[in-house]
Amino acid sequence: MSKIKPSKGAPYARILGVGGYRPTRVVPNEVILETIDSSDEWIRSRSGIETRHWASDEETVAAMSIEASGKAIADAGITAEQIGAVIVSTVTHFKQTPAVATEIADKLGTAKAAAFDISAGCAGFGYGLTLAKGMIVEGSAEYVLVIGVERLSDLTDLEDRATAFLFGDGAGAVVVGPSNEPAIGPTVWGSEGDKSETIKQTVPWTDYRAGEVERFPAITQEGQAVFRWAVFEMAKVAKEALDVAGLDPADLDVFIPHQANERIIDSMVKTLKLPESVTVARDIRTTGNTSAASIPLAMERLLATGEAKSGDTALVIGFGAGLVYAATVVTLP
């Protein structure tokens, strides 16, 4: 018989606060057209993107995260000292070690919170949210800060017609804490590594260091393959997330998919047969694809504009490089 005492966590977990940060520089499609042969109409029709934000030298991964996190902590009505863990999802922190989460935890003023980074691409926010929920229910932390942050402009090949217009920078954060009722549903997540070549970094850092390639590594993708996978397979995952939460599409108030491409969003809405009453996040138009940051940024904007309200039931789904995915139903803070 085990001598280990059972954990004493909360019965459930919920998102208590959300915050976002977008860099001050707004980049219209006209800037992108300086380096690729395309048109504003083509970019909008293919992706829905009109503008995106690019970070300055001062708007680092850590700096953007701290700004977004401060807003989330204030929105949750707690102090930084109460944060027990900091989870950062990013693929654009270019120091292999230490994790940028440790710097963020320190500068926010947490009381030596556990801190670590995860790399799950555009599904990273969902992965972090799931880990946070587990910590709170298990009892290893009372409040967990989950951050999605990217400086994708650093990994964008501005001469690649397929991807140059897609990516933006920014940070989104949420505080997850205890709840007396279910407010974060079961997560449907997974990976399809056999499709990893469809979204990838062009070459490893070691090839660049060795001088085997002259161009700095960038993100590349097989657009049509990614589109088909996202539209057909991720709609199934979204439906499964609804099923395990015991909900139907008509029970939703809000749909917050990863802001990869507005055509993908439109197709998922159609496939899921979402009622017109469901608010759909379309932050892609002015923020671009910010990978791990896209869901919390879209959530923050919907709440700030009043398009969504506290207590709404929202389906969130992230999907991308790996290929990885994560979907769950949440109650909005």
d(CA 7, CA 140): 8
The terminus-to-terminus CA distance of the chain in angstroms comes to 41
In order, the DSSP letters of 48-100 are: --SEEEE--TTS-HHHHHHHHHHHHHHHHT--GGGEEEEEEE-S----SSS-H
Active-site hit among 53, 93, 122, 261: 122
Active-site residue 122, yes or no? yes
Active-site hit among 53, 93, 258, 261: 258
Q: Which two structure tokens, joined as six digits, stand for 199?
A: 């979204």
In order, the DSSP letters of 114-148 are: EEEEE--GGGHHHHHHHHHHHHHHHTS-SEEEEEE
Before 98, cis peptide (omega within 30)?
Answer: yes
For 208, the enclosing helix (H) or strand (E) is: helix 205-209
Active-site residue 29, yes or no? no
d(CA 300, CA 19): 6
Neighbours of 201 (CB within 10 A): 13
**DSSP code for 197:** G
Active-site residue 258, yes or no? yes
Active site residues: 122, 258, 289
